Structures are given as structure tokens and as C-alpha cells.
Amino acid sequence: MTITRFEKRFWQYHYFLAFSFGTNPYVLARYIVLNFVKGLLQEIIINLNNAPNNAFSVTQ
């Protein structure tokens, strides 16, 4: 069973995060906050795009 490039990157990222969280709780807090903000922005953009005849919608 070969490891794909995506899996390799995923595990590198995972270990990096685990190491960072173990050494610095501030990194964990920042990671959570940034992910929350990113998700929030994506939701807002999706809602604005889906709204009919909205001034902010990109696709009219």
C-alpha cells in the first residue's frame, strides 16, 4: 500500500500541529480562531452569492 502525496502532506501537517500544540497553547488558540473566521467568511460569501437580486451577489 503506497502513501499518496496528499497523505504524506496531511501527516506532516498533523504532526506539525500536534508538536506546536504540545509546546505552545497560543498556537492552538490562534489556529482555532483562524479556522473559525475562515469558515465564517466562506458561509457569508456563499449566502451572499445565493441571495436573489442582492447588491452583493457576484453572480447575477
Q: pLDDT tens digit string along 41-58?
A: 888 877 777 766 656 555
Q: Is residue 8 part of a domain?
A: no
What residue numbers bound the domain in which 33 lies?
A: 24-60
Q: How much helix, strand and coil, in percent to the nearest 5, is found in the chain?
A: 75, 0, 25
19 pLDDT band, cuts 50/70/90, is confident
Buried b (16+ CB within 10 A) or exposed e, 19-49: eeeeeeeeeeeeeeeeeeeeeeeeeeeeeee
Domain count for the chain: 1
Q: Is residue 7 part of a domain?
A: no
Q: Is residue 30 part of a domain?
A: yes
Average pLDDT over residues 14-30: 72
Q: Is residue 18 part of a domain?
A: no
2 pLDDT band, cuts 50/70/90, is low
Average pLDDT over residues 4-20: 74
Q: Is residue 48 part of a domain?
A: yes
- pLDDT at 51 (0 to 100): 64
